[in-house]
Structure 1
Amino acid sequence: MDTKLLVEKTRELMASQTCCAEAKEAAQRFLDAVGTAAEKEETEKYLAELEEDIVTVDGLISFARSDAGKAHFGEETAAGIAAHGEEIKAAGAKYCDCPACAIVAEILGK
């Protein structure tokens, strides 16, 4: 992925409501480093963070069914998320399809 497109996708990721704090911090460090001597290193760190943060569909289902997931989302919403996870898994999805994970999958796929 060229730098211009990576910057664009990074800004989209940072604006996503489902982007975690760690990814936002790594994204900002990457953006701050673009055009500097630290760009290559920060890009590598950023991509490594994204690989750690992307949620697999199995992870999504597992979390939604857990007590922590039920506490986080509420029991009814968690059940819906788990059901949605099962649907997208059956359709062949590898990752969660929330806005942040969809952008991260696009970034990592290029």
Structure 2
Amino acid sequence: MAKEEIIEKVKEVMNAPSCYEGLKKVCEVYLKALGTEEEKGAAAALKEELKADVNSLDNVIPFFESEEGAKLLGADTAKSLAAAAHAAKEKGVKYCICPACTAGGWLLDHEAEW
């Protein structure tokens, strides 16, 4: 696997509308540390943050189907996201289907390679 592929996925996480500010900052630190003596530590910090922040479908489906999800997202959006998440799970997808979790999940699946 090429380092460029990892960098691209980190940028995808960072630039995703669904990426929260804390994870975005950890991505920025990692990208700035590339090629320096801080890279290894920044990579470890990013991996830990991804483990804490990337949601599984098993975690988000109940939220999408909850009253809280309907309140925060709107009933129609929550229902649509729940249906899409169920469909993704049936296809074997394990991570939340938002852009940040999709790219972050890919990074986690390839964690040993970077």
TM-score, normalised relative to structure 2: 0.84
Identity %: 33
Alignment partner of 1:4: what SS? Answer: helix
Q: Does 1:53 align with 2:53?
A: yes
Equivalent position of 1:29 in the other structure: 29
Q: Distance in 2 between matches of 1:41 and 1:2?
A: 19
Coordinate RMSD, CA, aligned: 1.6
Please give the residue correspondences for 1:39-78 in structure 2 after superposition, counting only pairs within 5 Å: 39-78=39-78
Gaps of 5+ in 1: none
Please list every run of at least 4 consecutive aligned residues from structure 1 whose deviation after the TM superposition is greater than 6 angstroms: none
Return the offset for 1:86: 1.7
Gaps of 5+ in 2: none
TM-score, normalised relative to structure 1: 0.87
Alignment partner of 2:95: what SS? Answer: coil
Q: Output one character per residue of 1:47-88: Cα deviation in whole Å (capped at 9) or x when no partner.
A: 111111111111111111223211221011111111222222
Equivalent position of 1:7 in the other structure: 7
